[in-house]
Amino acid sequence: MLVGGALLAYRIRFGTWHLQKDYVSLVVITTLFGLLIFGSSSLYRSWRGRGLGAELMHLGLCWLLICTGVLFYTTLIQMIGELSRLWLGAWFGLSLAGAASIRIVLRGCASWARARGMDLRTAVIVGGNPDAQRIVDTLHRNPWMGIKVVGWFATSADRCALHGIRPMGRVDRLAAFVEARHIDQVWIALPMREQDQIAYVLRQLDFSTADIKLLPDLFGLQLLNHSVEQIGGLPVLNLRSSPLDGPAHLVKATMDKVLASLILLMISPLMIAIAIGVKLSSPGPVFFRQLRHGLGGKPIEVWKFRSMRVHQEEDGKVTQARKNDSRVTPFGAFLRRTSLDELPQFINVLQGSMSIVGPRPHAIAHNEQYKTLVDRYMQRHRVKPGITGWAQVNGLRGETDTVEKMARRVEYDLYYMQNWSPWFDLRIILMTVFKGFVNKNAY
C-alpha cells in the first residue's frame, strides 16, 4: 500500500506513473521504515476476538508515526522544499485508506466464513465464575470471532455453573478430552489464590499443543484499565493503570493543542467582550484562579472568568455556588448558566495542565472531603481534568450537595476513562456544543 499509494498519488498529481529519482528514493526509504515500524508493533498479530475499531486505531497510529518520521527526514536533509506537498498528502492518505480497506474487507470475509462454521477455533473452559459466563455469552453472540466453546470442566473452586455450554465433568478428564478432540484453546477461569489447581491443569496439558489462556477470577477487586505487559521478560498483570499511556497520550495531547489553538483564535473577540463585562459588573480581577487537583493529584491553577463578587472564604473551606447565590453577580449568573465562564480554561489546555475532555476538576477541599466518602473517587485523577466531560454532557453538573450526586458523577468519569478513544472525545465535544453549554443546574 505504501508503494501503490505513492504511484497513484504521483499519477494524480503529475499525470505519469514514472517517478523522478528523488521520489523513488524517498518511497524506498519510507517503505523500509514502514517495515520496521509495522514489524516492531503488534499490528500483525491475530486480531481474532478484538474489535475492528481497535485494529484500525492501531494501524492509524503506526501510519502517523511513519508520516512524522518521513517529514522529519525530508526536513533534515532539506528535501522537503523539492517535493510536492500535494503528492505527500495524497500519498499517505491513499496508502492509509488502502491499508484500512484491505483489513476491513478481510475482516468481513473472515466474519462471513466463521459465521458459517469455517476457520473456527475450538475451546474449553476450566472453572466457573461470572467472568467465564460473560466470555461464553459474548462468544455465542458474536460468531464472527470464530471461537467455539465446546464445553467446560468443573473444579472445587467454582463460584457458579456455566449456562449455555455443555458440562464435561471434573477437571481430571481435561487432558484426555483435549487430546481426543484436538482442542485449540483452553481457558482457565480460576481464582488467583488457587495456584495448586492452576498448576495441576498446566501439568495435565504438558503434552498438548493447545493455546492456554488464564482468565483470573478477580472478583471483588476494583480494576481500572487492567492489562498485561512484560517487564524484564516476565508477564505482569496491571490491575490499575492510566488509560492514556503510550501512543494514546500523544494522540490526545495533539488533539488538545490543535483544537484549543483553533478555538481560542475563534473565540478571542468573545473573550475580550466577556472580560470587559466582568470588569464593569463589579470591582475585582477579570479572571478567577483556583488551585485544583490535576493529573496524578498534583495541584494546578484553573482559570475562569470571575462570576462572583470578591469575597474571603474561611481557611480550608470552599462553598459551592448555590441557586440564587448572593455572591454571584447578575452578569456572572449569565456566564455560569451558559458556561462562558469556563472559556479561559482553553489557556489551561495550551499550558498542558488540562484537557478539553476529561473529568471536571474539583476544588482541593472537595477532593479531601469526598475521597473517603465516594468509592474510587481519586481514580479520576489518572487523566488530565477537562473543560467538559461525559458526566457533564449527561446532565451531571452544578452543585453536588449530596454524596449520591458526587458518586454518580464519578461513575460517569470512570466510564469515560475505561472507554476512552479519540472518537469518544469528539462525540463529547459535539454533545457539548449542541446541548452542554446551557443547563438548569449550572448556577
**Total Cβ atoms within 10 A of residue 170:** 11
The answer to whether the CB of 254 falls within 8 A of the CB of 272 is no
C-alpha distances in Å from residue 395, one per residue of 186, 243, 358, 377, 389:
45, 24, 15, 19, 10
Q: Is the pLDDT assigned to residue 215 strictly greater than 90?
A: no
Buried b (16+ CB within 10 A) or exposed e, 367-389: bebbeeebeebebbbbbbbbbbb
Q: What is the DSSP string of 116-140?
A: TT-S-EEEEEES--HHHHHHHHHHH
Give residue-wise pLDDT tens across range 37-77: 887 777 777 666 677 777 888 888 888 888 888 888 877 77
Residue 443: exposure state from Cβ atoms within 10 A (0-12, 13-18, ≥19): middle
Which of 386, 379, 377, 383 is closest to 408 using CA atoms?
A: 377
Question: What is the location of CATH 3.40.50.20 in the chain?
Answer: 121-217
pTM summary value: 0.56
- 67 or 316: which leads in pLDDT: 67
Three cell numbers, residue 164:
449455555
Angle at 158 between CA 155 and CA 164, to 5 degrees: 95
pLDDT band at 276; cut points 50, 70, 90 = very high
CATH of domain 121-217: 3.40.50.20
- Among candidate residues 371, 400, 391, 388, the one with its CA nearest the CA of residue 426: 388
- Distance (Å, rounded) from C-alpha 104 to C-alpha 270? 44
Mean pLDDT for the chain overall: 82
pLDDT at 334 (0 to 100): 87
User: 44-52: long-range contacts at Cβ-Cβ below 8 A with a sequence spacing of 24 or more?
Assistant: 47/107, 48/121, 48/145, 48/146, 48/147, 49/145, 49/147, 52/103, 52/104, 52/107
pLDDT digits (tens, 9 = 90+) for 332-373: 888 888 888 889 999 999 999 999 999 988 878 778 888 888
Determine the Cα–Cα distance for residues 335 and 326; give it in Å rounded to an integer.
15
pLDDT tens string 139-197: 888 777 778 888 889 888 888 888 888 888 888 888 888 888 888 888 888 887 788 88
Residue 291: closest CA among 282, 301, 277, 304 = 301
pLDDT at 13 over 90: no
H/E stretch holding 185: strand 185-188
Return the closest-CA partner of residue 243 out of 420, 362, 20.
420
